Structure 1
Amino acid sequence: MTDAIIIGSGHNSLVCAAHLATKGWSVAVYEQAAVPGGAIKTAELTLPGFRHDWAAMNLSLFAGSQFSKTYGDVLSSHGLDYVPAQNPFASVFPDGKWFGVSADPVATAERVDDFSPADARAWKEMSASFFSDAEPIFDLLGSPVNKRSIAKLALKTLPKLGINRTLDLARFMMMSPRGWLDETFESNHVKATLAAWGMHLDFAPDIAGGALFPYLEAMAGQAFGMVLGKGGANTVTNALKAMIDANGGTIECGANVTRVLHENGRARGIVLDDGRQVMAKKAVIANVAPRALARLTGETGNKVYDKGLSKFRHAPGTMMIHLAMEDLPDWTAGPELRDFAYVHIAPSMDYMARTYQEAQAGLLPKEPVIVCGQPTTVDPSRAPEGKHVLWLQVRMAPGEIRGDAAGEIAAMNWQDAAEPFAERALDILETYAPGTRAKIIGKHIVSPMDLEADNPNLVGGDQVCGSHHLNQHFLFRPFRGHADGNTPIANLHHTGAAVWPGAGTGAGPGFLLAQKLAGK
């Protein structure tokens, strides 16, 4: 019998296990996949020597997380290593122009000025006030969302900002990306470049509550740059696994949990698909999608909570295309783009809104958003000398296909639709970087269904494990009264991207839960 059983080995699980093990708990992690890591995995998916990040690539949130601040030296001793990207992201446009955010405020402001002097002034003002303006936002994102924490945060924020600025902050937190961007800038190029980040978290331009993410990505990208994992994102997974091993914890892969054992309102352990029962003294922690938690428990005894889990909404899916390359793309807009970690192809907010609506309707979008990751521009170790890898996210994609917005792909299942939809994405890339196809020497397509098969938390290829719209975020993630991971069953706790503070590599859900269980 162990103190804590953790279902799933995503980074939130591993962070939770590592902290508990450090505090003297015996922990055992059970993972249905062949290797740990969830969405943070790296493998040679195309050709030998070409290392591709399966899903997550950007590790900035993990590097800046409270967990990393607490255990940075320990993680480094277990091999965690980063590579900084001084040019985090850019966007390209049909008129041959581009705009990018670099970790150089002067250079970035000059690029803004090329589009609009008024926007350059707004950008400089926003940059100058970023650390003071964002402090209460970072405080919120790093805190539990319960009555005590909210009251404490309010008592800190109100005297510091005053009532008017506090109300302005609350208004900003409720704004859509388009609402905030139209209010702040006049250049459509600048607006689209920032709005693209909303699409990473299920915030199309007109969705309330989405302004926060373009703002934070723009300002944090300029202030801190971006970090990737040296040799691959799984440097995080490997270091966490080593940390757990060093403290006596265990991780068992190929172990599918089929049921959570509970009686008299208290969790006792788990049942594996091979029939084994494993019991826990203190806690069963489930890093699963909400509907999966409902299946594992059967029912919790709280009908309102159970209904809430069953109604949890997932975001549209994502297709991944991993490419082994002879060379990086030759971007028509300018050779400088080869130096950026991410290049977005999302040329307008209307383009993004249309793509999102098509995916929501179950259609393969006519013009999906393309996120072109160029990790080898900052980390050559991921490919043989002189070669490169490209990491393509195709957003958005429906989990269940009901048709094709372009009327060209007849397939209604991902097994048959993956290849032609990937070709559509490569056609778009080719438009902005002619000759890219000729440089491809290896290709591996991962459809939304492939993502879910590897990691059941990514329902329909939803890489953020659930929409972050306002009615399913903050106090309501995954359901009101349970944002701290508590469930109606004693000793059963919920963690992962479906729990506050949500998706990303910041490990907030796992670390906040571990601190609560261990008493900090």
Structure 2
Amino acid sequence: MPDVVVVGSGPNGLAAAVILAKAGLSVEVYEAENTAGGGSRTAELTLPGFRHDVCAGAHPMAFASPFFRAFDLAAHGVELLAPQVSYAHPLDGGTAGVAWRDLERTADGLGRDGDAWRALFGPLVRDWETVVDLAMSDLRRVPKGLLTATRFGLRTLEQGTPLWNTRFDEEPAAALLTGVATHAITPPRAVPAAGAGLLLGTLAHAGGWVLPKGGSQAIPDALITELEQLGGRVHVGKRVDALGQFDDVRAVVLDTAPAELIRLAGNRLPDRYVQRLRRFRYGGAACKVDFALSGPVPWQAEHLELAGTLHLIGTRDEAMTAERAVAAGQHAERPYVLAIQPGVVDPTRAPEGKHTFYTYAHVPNGSTRDISADVIAQVERFAPGFRELILAKNVYTAAELPSHNANYIGGDISAGAMTLRQFAFRPTPRWNPYATPLSGVYLCSASTPPGPGVHGMSGVHAAGHVLRQRFGIDADPLELVRAG
């Protein structure tokens, strides 16, 4: 038997596996799906030759995560392509807010709000590594760079409270920031959403929202190659039915949602802990719609053809109305749609002259509704003629997403609602959120700090506890990764 078993092959599970293997332990990973990668898989979902990202598409954290900086994706053959425009937010009438990688160019394009945008993001962009280290911590230690942490905290409070309308005078800047905050699938005027928006907005100007050449699958593939070179193994198509399968293993690390921990543990967990896990809330969900297109999207507004990611909802008020509907368990009349057009930097995703187009729309948890017609309408709103380009589409409703990734309970791609309580206490209020009451069993999924995103840091934090508590190895996990 190996020293460690990791259940789930998403980026967090693979990050933990690589670190533990670098510490000299024997590691095996078990994945229920036939392809490893979790939320970072790529597949031909529509037509042959059209490669679509199954969940995560744009990757700000692939550039910025402390784990990926230590691992060095480029050195492992992953080419990260950065669009000139990190993200954009079209408005009716052919105008748009445009977040260029260049902060100054972004500010220059925001008219009267340019100085306000520069003042909001300038200090954060200058010290982006400290911002990332704060956001990607386990939230159980004093942050580095207290001045930057204070700046980030004050800006988060501003944008997460009724003060959010005091900074900007015009709609493009306000909508531009709101669109990125709405990634949290919660009403954007909330502290967790504001924090996510400021972090992602900072990274848009620091290094860009990169797309891996060939698809997101390149990231887990690189981690798996490294793990195998260290002697580890990945078993795909192997669903784990019970923790009892690994009673002889010294440590089990679960890249799973709390609901899956309950299933795997059976009656082994203390009742009180199970009750706490059952109180863990799953949030708003996504209906994923992928398109094969005969040509590029005909955006009305200038520069949108250069954007890797777009937020399609309209004004700040429209975004708030749509997300409040989802939070109340209702379908928005005009849903928030996140769109990614990989072809702006990566022609390998589709046959020559053709394009893939990635979208998901926010819907209530557990929704069985195919809302692809609403998605097409939102794209058409800002790109008339889009409908005529569609060669094929693939739809995963929110209710169908868990059949492709068991962590997406009810279609919640964040693996847990981003409430203020669950921002710090994921999945339960414990000083060590990664350890469970079962000796040697740990969680490392996005249901633990620092939460959702392709960053690997939940795996890093969990691996550190495993090394110290189960094997007596007092080593910095990131230094193990850097060691080669």
- 1:279-333 per-residue CA deviation (whole Å, 9 max, x = no partner) reads 4432011111112212221345544322110011111110111111111111122
From the superposition, tell whether residues 94 and 191 of structure 1 become closer, same or farther in structure 2 (CA, over 3 Å). Answer: same
From the superposition, tell whether residues 136 and 224 of structure 1 become closer, same or farther in structure 2 (CA, over 3 Å). Answer: closer
1:49-60 aligned at under 5 Å gives the runs 49-60=49-60
Q: Which residue of 2 aligns with 1:479?
A: 428
Asked if 1:26 is matched to 2:26, the reply is yes
Q: Which residue of 2 aligns with 1:314?
A: 282
Asked if 1:4 is matched to 2:8, the reply is no
Q: Counterpart of 1:363 in 2: which secondary structure?
A: coil
State the 1:367 CA deviation: 0.6
Q: Indicate the RMSD between aligned Cα atoms, in angstroms.
A: 2.1
Q: Which residue of 2 aligns with 1:196?
A: 179
- 1:76-106 per-residue CA deviation (whole Å, 9 max, x = no partner) reads 4543221122211001111321111001223
Q: Which residue of 1 aligns with 2:266?
A: 298
From the superposition, tell whether residues 301 and 41 of structure 1 become closer, same or farther in structure 2 (CA, over 3 Å). Answer: closer
State the 1:376 CA deviation: 0.6
State the 1:203 CA deviation: 3.2
1:265-344 aligned at under 5 Å gives the runs 270=245, 278-334=246-302, 336-344=303-311
Q: TM-score, length-normalised on structure 1?
A: 0.85
Q: Which residue of 2 aligns with 1:266?
A: none
- 1:350-374 per-residue CA deviation (whole Å, 9 max, x = no partner) reads 2122222322333222110111211
State the 1:124 CA deviation: 2.3
Aligned partner letter, 2:35: V
Q: Which residue of 2 aligns with 1:267?
A: none
Asked if 1:399 is matched to 2:365, the reply is yes
- 1:83-140 per-residue CA deviation (whole Å, 9 max, x = no partner) reads 1222110011113211110012232111111xx2xx2122222343224666654332
Q: Which residue of 1 aligns with 2:453?
A: 504
From the superposition, tell whether residues 48 and 40 of structure 1 become closer, same or farther in structure 2 (CA, over 3 Å). Answer: same
Asked if 1:517 is matched to 2:483, the reply is no
Q: Which moved more, 1:308-317 or 1:215-224?
A: 215-224
From the superposition, tell whether residues 157 and 235 of structure 1 become closer, same or farther in structure 2 (CA, over 3 Å). Answer: closer
Higher gyration radius (CA): 1
State the 1:35 CA deviation: 0.6
- 1:413-462 per-residue CA deviation (whole Å, 9 max, x = no partner) reads x2xx31xx211210221121111111111211111122111111001111
Q: Which residue of 2 aligns with 1:458?
A: 408
State the 1:21 CA deviation: 1.1
Q: Which residue of 1 aligns with 2:81?
A: 83
From the superposition, tell whether residues 208 and 68 of structure 1 become closer, same or farther in structure 2 (CA, over 3 Å). Answer: closer
Q: Aligned residue pairs: how many?
A: 469
Q: Which residue of 2 aligns with 1:184?
A: 167
Aligned partner letter, 1:492: V
Q: Which residue of 2 aligns with 1:257?
A: 240
Q: Which residue of 2 aligns with 1:46?
A: 46
From the superposition, tell whether residues 24 and 135 of structure 1 become closer, same or farther in structure 2 (CA, over 3 Å). Answer: closer
From the superposition, tell whether residues 280 and 376 of structure 1 become closer, same or farther in structure 2 (CA, over 3 Å). Answer: farther
Contact 2:338–2:359 (8 Å) recurs in 1:
yes
Q: Which moved more, 1:374-383 or 1:426-435?
A: 426-435
Q: Which moved more, 1:186-195 or 1:494-503?
A: 186-195
Q: Which residue of 1 aligns with 2:343?
A: 376
Q: Which runs of 5+ in 2 are unaligned?
A: 468-474, 477-484
Q: Which residue of 2 aligns with 1:104?
A: 102
Partners of 2:263 and 2:247 in 1: CA distance: 19
Q: Which residue of 1 aligns with 2:318?
A: 351
Partners of 1:30 and 1:252 in 2: CA distance: 5
After superposing on structure 2, the runs of 4+ consecutive aligned residues of structure 1 that deviate more than 6 Å are: none
- 1:130-172 per-residue CA deviation (whole Å, 9 max, x = no partner) reads 24666654332233333xx23xx3xx555x57xxx94x65444
Of 144, 158, 176, the residue aligned with 2:138 is 144
From the superposition, tell whether residues 220 and 179 of structure 1 become closer, same or farther in structure 2 (CA, over 3 Å). Answer: farther
Contact 1:4–1:25 (8 Å) recurs in 2:
yes
Contact 2:32–2:239 (8 Å) recurs in 1:
yes
Partners of 2:289 and 2:269 in 1: CA distance: 43
Of 222, 247, 254, the residue aligned with 1:239 is 222
Q: Counterpart of 2:351 in 1: which secondary structure?
A: coil
From the superposition, tell whether residues 211 and 76 of structure 1 become closer, same or farther in structure 2 (CA, over 3 Å). Answer: closer
Higher strand proportion, which one?
1
Partners of 2:175 and 2:366 in 1: CA distance: 28
Of 116, 122, 125, the residue aligned with 1:128 is 122
Partners of 2:444 and 2:340 in 1: CA distance: 28
Partners of 1:455 and 1:464 in 2: CA distance: 12
Q: Which residue of 2 aligns with 1:217?
A: 200
1:150-169 aligned at under 5 Å gives the runs 150=142, 153=143, 157=145, 166=150
Partners of 1:157 and 1:14 in 2: CA distance: 29
Partners of 2:125 and 2:389 in 1: CA distance: 42
State the 1:40 CA deviation: 0.4
Q: Counterpart of 1:258 in 2: which secondary structure?
A: coil
Partners of 1:296 and 1:176 in 2: CA distance: 40
Q: Which moved more, 1:97-106 or 1:456-465?
A: 97-106
Q: Counterpart of 1:2 in 2: which secondary structure?
A: coil
Q: Counterpart of 2:337 in 1: which secondary structure?
A: strand
Q: Counterpart of 2:109 in 1: which secondary structure?
A: helix
Q: Counterpart of 2:249 in 1: which secondary structure?
A: strand
Name the % identity: 29
- 1:41-81 per-residue CA deviation (whole Å, 9 max, x = no partner) reads 11111111111111101122022212222221xx4454322
